[in-house]
Amino acid sequence: MQIRPFCEADRPFLRTLFLASRKANWHWLDSSRWQLEDFDSTVLGETVLVVEQEGHRVGFAALLENDNFLHSLFVDPQHQGSGVGSALLKAVQARFTSTGALKCLLANKPAQAFYQRHGWQVIAQGESEQGEYVLMHYKLRP
């Protein structure tokens, strides 16, 4: 497994992965207006890390490095549960310079459990256009 920075050649596949992963995991939301190009606006201005396994792109994470904020972490539905997400999350956490933060949709219980297994803690709740979310923090270990 290799984790590397995004390059423009990744865009078509990551668009597809982003759409497929949201449809598979956010089943409680109306996906009728989701488009491949949603990936472009979601990661605009962010640092994107790509995971490759055996020459295939299987996930990505997008973060706002200056804010230590993990904005997106998506794994191909066929590779979920195989360690790809854990490896990607560790790579993101290694880039944090202070407490990391993310928002996770409240209805996305598997994702919340995933982050909590990796040391993230819920510190607040809020509401977004996709529904209620939890704000989670990850404290760097000294």
CA distance linking residue 19 with residue 34, whole number of Å:
7
User: Domains, the chain, ranges and CATH?
Assistant: 2-138 (3.40.630.30)
In eight-state DSSP terms, residue 32 is T
CA distance linking residue 119 with residue 124, whole number of Å:
16
pLDDT digits (tens, 9 = 90+) for 104-130: 999 889 999 999 999 999 999 999 887
pLDDT digits (tens, 9 = 90+) for 49-100: 999 998 899 999 999 999 999 999 989 888 777 789 999 999 999 999 999 9
